A = this chain, B = another copy of it.
């Protein structure tokens, strides 16, 4: 899907940062990946949480699958789900760095979210190392908690679900799929 238009890319740049931005640097793409870490997997959940045009979401998801960042799998209820691959999970340091910078310079009410080690409850530093047990924690073992800077005026099911502590990468229950098989 989505043959990338010529000259809309960074091919003149011989640089690993430019190559990465080629894949994840387009508008909305990193927010899609952020939501994937939060446990969003379904087309309609991305749609309502991001407020993105359907055509753009469809194109971005297709590109990310093509690049091997997301995988399209058959989920419960017969619906397709978009899930981060190992290659996608490896983007965690990028998102963590972006979030930390925003917390430091664009978040007057304090951090929007904080991270803890799911197993021992310890707080995680800027490289996801647990301050209690000292281990470097994999994304699946990170507990995401709402922080002081998180406002409460978003009404969509994804935002509502994220107001409770939630483990990264585990599927969100958004109500549209509350029934379990």
Contact = CB atoms under 8 A, between A and B. Distances in A.
A104 B111 CA distance: 30
Q: Which of A23, A25, A107, A112 has the most chain B CB atoms inside 10 A of its CB?
A: A25
A50 B112 contact: no
Interface stretch (A72-80, A116-124, A149-157, A169-177): A149-157
Interface SS, A side: helix
A154 B14 contact: yes
A34 interface: yes
Given A94-B94, A127-B127, A102 B14 contact: no
Interface residues of A, number: 49
B50 A34 contact: no
Given A13-B50, A14-B154, A25-B30, A100 B106 contact: no
Contacts of A50: 13
A24 to B, nearest CB: 8
Interface in A78-115: 87, 90-91, 93-107, 111-113
Given A15-B34, A25-B30, A31-B21, A105 B90 contact: yes
Contacts of A113: 15-16
Interface of A: 10, 12-23, 25, 27, 30-31, 34, 50-51, 87, 90-91, 93-107, 111-113, 126-127, 149-151, 153-154, 159
Closest 7 CB pairs of A and B: A16-B102, A93-B97, A20-B102, A19-B106, A94-B97, A19-B102, A16-B112
